[in-house]
């Protein structure tokens, strides 16, 4: 690996560790994602192959770029462009905070990236803060395609696994056992992140699938036939039927954090019925972006931050602080 000089571990991807490294030829920083091979008796892991094939087929300013593949002895690395921060790192920074105009710009970039992926027939299936990278110039990049896959936009009957998406960002239809799903699962994750951008913390924080559904119902209310006609047909509905009906607390809980149009858009993105969530392309046309002040502004103040801020380092700093 003479070309690449490893500097530090900066993350843990779905299927391997991520390192910051210097390309000693071009003098560019890159991210090296080591593909776990230990458990693979049958050669190259199919999940990594899928990720590579998928990343080679996409090219967008809001999607992280795969630069090349590299083999060193028995290790295989994916080489990505390096991005300074991720959303978790930024939101947990002790002194830096995003203004509303910056939040709107970052969220617009996230939806731009998702609209592009969905148009290309790609489901990300792990939208969460640590997978949203942000450069020091305020450019957002969707990263970690370890759970992503191509999907057929015109066939809603194809079965996929529902054991995807980090628990706090997993939509109710997957928690109720749905296996036929589409882009709406990523849109739910985007809705969670929209609230998080304003409030600074994850909205729904369950310890397991049942608690996660409860956390969603506590805020969004329990589903009704009018709100979501097919919810009782989902495979695990009888197993996890709510004990009591709960009204939505969404507006009461978040109207002080979000502007009126922003609140309306977030409520749509977090519709319990996936068919009622707008596509990313439609969400970009919402009054929140087109009419409501302030206009989106790139968060260029990130260039003044000392060091890099990713979830991985944030956790390490927290551990060190607790040990002191």
Options 86, 105, 126, 186, the catalytic residue? 126
Strands (E), 91-237: 122-123, 132-134, 140-142, 149-150
- Are residues 187 and 251 in contact, defined by beta-carbon separation less than 8 angstroms? no
42 belongs to the catalytic site: no
The whole-angstrom separation of Cα 100 and Cα 296 is: 8
The helix, strand and coil proportions of the chain, stated in percent and rounded to the nearest 5, come to: 35, 15, 45
Please name which of 274, 288, 261 lies closest in space to residue 220, comparing C-alpha atoms.
274
CA atoms within 13 A on the CB side of 305: 26
> Cβ-count burial of 128 within 10 angstroms (0-12 exposed, 13-18 middle, 19+ buried)?
buried
The whole-angstrom separation of Cα 117 and Cα 110 is: 11
Eight-state DSSP code of residue 300: G
Catalytic residue positions?
Answer: 126
């Amino acid at each position: 690996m003479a070309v690449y000089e490893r500097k530090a571990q900066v993350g843990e991807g779905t299927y391997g560790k991520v390192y910051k490294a210097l390309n000693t030829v071009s003098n560019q920083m890159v991210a090296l994602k080591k593909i776990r091979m230990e458990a693979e008796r049958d050669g190259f892991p199919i999940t990594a192959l899928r990720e590579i094939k998928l990343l080679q087929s996409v090219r967008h300013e809001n999607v992280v770029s795969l630069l090349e593949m590299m083999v060193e002895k028995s290790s295989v690395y994916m080489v990505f462009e390096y991005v300074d921060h991720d959303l978790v790192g930024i939101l947990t920074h002790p002194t830096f905070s995003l203004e509303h105009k910056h939040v709107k710009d970052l969220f617009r970039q996230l939806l731009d990236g998702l609209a592009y992926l969905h148009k290309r027939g790609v489901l990300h299936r792990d939208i969460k803060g640590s997978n949203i990278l942000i450069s020091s110039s305020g450019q957002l990049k969707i990263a970690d395609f370890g759970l992503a896959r191509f999907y057929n936009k015109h066939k809603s009957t194809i079965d996929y696994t529902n054991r995807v998406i980090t628990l706090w960002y997993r939509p109710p239809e997957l928690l109720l056992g749905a296996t036929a799903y589409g882009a709406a699962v990523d849109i739910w994750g985007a809705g969670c992140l929209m609230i998080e951008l304003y409030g600074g913390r994850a909205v729904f924080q369950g310890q397991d699938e049942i608690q996660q559904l409860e956390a969603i119902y506590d805020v969004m209310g329990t589903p009704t036939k009018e709100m979501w006609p097919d919810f009782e047909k989902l495979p695990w509905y009888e197993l996890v039927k709510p004990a009591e009906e709960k009204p939505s607390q969404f507006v009461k809980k978040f109207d002080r954090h979000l502007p009126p149009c922003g609140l309306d858009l977030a409520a749509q993105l977090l519709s319990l019925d996936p068919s009622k969530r707008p596509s990313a392309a439609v969400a970009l046309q919402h009054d929140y972006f087109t009419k409501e002040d302030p206009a989106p502004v790139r968060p260029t103040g990130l260039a003044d931050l000392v060091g890099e801020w990713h979830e991985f380092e944030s956790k390490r700093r927290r551990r060190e602080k607790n040990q002191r």
